[in-house]
Structure 1
């Protein structure tokens, strides 16, 4: 059996520790914070979206970067395996809209406590307030060791780096594992905030702060090229746009948006054809034929959106609706179907759910998570160049890669 040193007490690190210890390895878990699972505590707005109950094809489809790399780990530790693990550890689960899996209690603390119980049961030595400063390998790669911030040195047979990426740095995710990887000769792909709100140029977006739009279709373009198109829910903020639809979009367009401005078009009525929408507007105008244009849109839009739509339409707000011309009405239809915004950038890591980029998976064995460059060194979780859309998929990556790393160490 091996002495296994794990850097990082988040989802991937804890799951790797439980897995390795259950196989008989002597495991020490090092966490820089005063307690385990700091980032796990805030996931899913404190409810912890554990995983997603979709089929395996759905899991792979949800991965944005390097999905093929996850074949072995996803099948080695499936979403159902994760649900079973937590159920057996005393966490009842429930499935909500979009197949999202949560603890029935809606408390992420229950998930963390369950992991802590499993760590204790399997004899894992937990060292909190113990940041790892450096990973050292002997010249003959006979041992691997962690140099700690307090100046001490711990020697082991294998090490798992599960320190996370760069998102939510207040939880301790400050890129330590990326630095370790670089120091040991690994390639780290470009890192960006992902699943993150985006900023907009138009001042009127800030006027809509707090407005949530459901069942809209968003399209993001670079010139005429469509980079992203999807249906869902979005939210306006004081700086631009957020909500599930926009967070997911950021993972697909972030690299391009870092270099140049992009166009966001929102279809406010995607369930209607242009003709149906025109008829709907005509019907509303007929019901309000003696009212001014600005006062005849109450059934079409939320109240907060009406002044913006009136302004963008170019139609005189005081004009009676029975005086609105056919050309003006058709232009209004086009506006509703293609409400334009200019995306200027991503918000920073403090608001990002995950990090895009990380340790290159080309240098990691997909079956065991062991480095192809350094014998005995393993990676798991967000430190790797893997990311997925919202819905529990990124935590599934953490569980699956953590499990693969824990199992990958020779018994």
Structure 2
């Protein structure tokens, strides 16, 4: 019977332990927090978007980096397998808009509880407040781990499921990157992803708390403006890791190749204004296309269902029906109340101007604002607000059919620690379930 250590009791770690224990291995999970699934607990605003019900081909289309690496893992344990696992173990699921899958209870704690109880039935031990501080090798083969800097424990295999460096409060502090580097692996520079964006325009703060539905967003490369350069906070965060290779000018190269006006993302859905900029599902997904060293603008269409001509005809009709009103009192049917003062100010039209006196030129400017409200991105909110980490252990150095290191026998990686990330909607958790399951199966396999 193989003795397997899993580092991290997150989604990938617990599923790796399930697969390894079901295959007959003796499994212990080492978790430095006081409980399991801290990051699972906060996903989906506490509801846990377990996976996405989209077919497998569509799943790969929503993976931002290295989707081909995931073929073996996902085809072996896809979204149907994930749903079957939870349903069979008493956690009933439901499918919502966008094929997002949630527990019927809307409580992420039920997902965690289901996993922990099943692990107990499999006699998997979870050692809490137990930080793995080193992995030891002999002849490039895993032989032991050190826990809390003092206790050395012999093992036959180690599965690293430590996550990235997003949401540090959940325990994601880059431990897996350090293990990888010491084992000879290289890393793709980690950046925050699925993260809110900061913007330059001061009027955005006036809209704090305003949520918009059925709008469209386009993120476009714009001309560099050195005066607006604001070294993003996450650069400092990256430096403190002490485990990441320099970017070697990659961002600068991308910057030179990126042409002003190029659209890198277009989407339709919901967004939210905050005290620092913008957030919400549309913006989080747009952030997956954000690259350091490149300047972007967000182009917001408040009325994407209308053509320019249709919007003009609607304004003309509204103006004719309210021709005795002033401008500020005619916009209630077009914009949310909180947005009206901002749109009036940006339009340059006097708020008390009679509607009958508004010129065609002024009307055209209002149409332009409505269908192309521009915001300048100055950076992201950094790792502490990022749902996932973009970048991580170089997947070219990992066997995609087993999740085992190509450099060290018995060393496996799964989940967010790898250079894998996807858009919002349950796809990132699916990556964790699939890679964790495959790593557990293969680590437990007898040679």
**Same-fold status (TM-score > 0.5):** yes
C-alpha change, 1:142 and 1:357, in structure 2 (3 Å) is: closer
Q: Distance in 2 between matches of 1:261 and 1:234?
A: 20
Which residues in structure 2 correspond to 1:366-385 (within 5 Å)? Answer: 366-385=400-419
Return closer, same or farther for 1:38/1:393 CA change in 2, 3 Å cut-off: same
**Whole-Å separation in 2 of the counterparts to 1:78 and 1:100:** 14
1:158 equivalent to 2:148? Answer no
Show structure 1 runs of 5+ residues with no match.
none
CA displacement, residues 219-264 of structure 1 (integer Å, 9 cap, x when unaligned): 11113111111111100000000000000000112x1xx3243111
> Please, which moves more after superposition, 218-227 or 14-23?
218-227
Partners of 1:231 and 1:245 within 8 A in 2: yes
What is the CA–CA distance in structure 2 between the aligned matches of 1:142 and 1:281, rounded to whole Å?
72
Across the two proteins, how many residue pairs are aligned to each other?
407
1:260-409 pair list within 5 angstroms: 260-409=294-443
Q: Give the structure 2 partner of residue 235 of structure 1.
A: 272
The alpha-carbon deviation at position 202 of structure 1 amounts to 0.6
Deviation at 1:309, TM superposition (A): 0.5
SS at match of 1:280: helix
In 2, are the aligned partners of 1:260 and 1:344 still within 8 Å (CA)? no
Aligned counterpart, 1:145:
144
In the alignment, is the contact (CA less than 8 A) between 1:212 and 1:234 conserved in 2? yes
Partner of 1:74: 74
1:116 corresponds to which residue?
116
Query: Helix, strand or coil: the match of 1:228?
Result: strand
Structure 2 counterpart of 1:226: 263
Q: Which residue of 1 aligns with 2:187?
A: 188
Q: Secondary structure at the match of 2:430?
A: helix
Rounded Cα–Cα distance in structure 1 between residues aligned with 2:73 and 2:120: 25
What TM-score do the two structures reach when normalised by structure 2?
Answer: 0.90
2-side partners of 1:322 and 1:155: how far apart? 84
- Residue 107 of structure 1 corresponds to 107
Structure-2 separation of matches of 1:215 and 1:86:
33
* 3-state secondary structure, aligned to 1:357: strand
Q: Please list the CA deviations of residues 337-391 of structure 1 after superposition, one character each: whole Å capped at 9, or x if unmatched.
A: 1101111000021111111110011001111100111111000000000001111
Q: Distance in 2 between matches of 1:369 and 1:150?
A: 26
DSSP 3-state at the match of 2:424 = coil
Q: Which residue of 2 aligns with 1:216?
A: 215
Post-superposition shift, 1:147? 1.3
Alpha carbons 1:144, 1:159 under 8 Å: kept = no
Report the aligned-residue RMSD: 1.0
Question: TM-score by structure 1 length?
Answer: 0.97
The CA deviation at 1:142 is 4.5
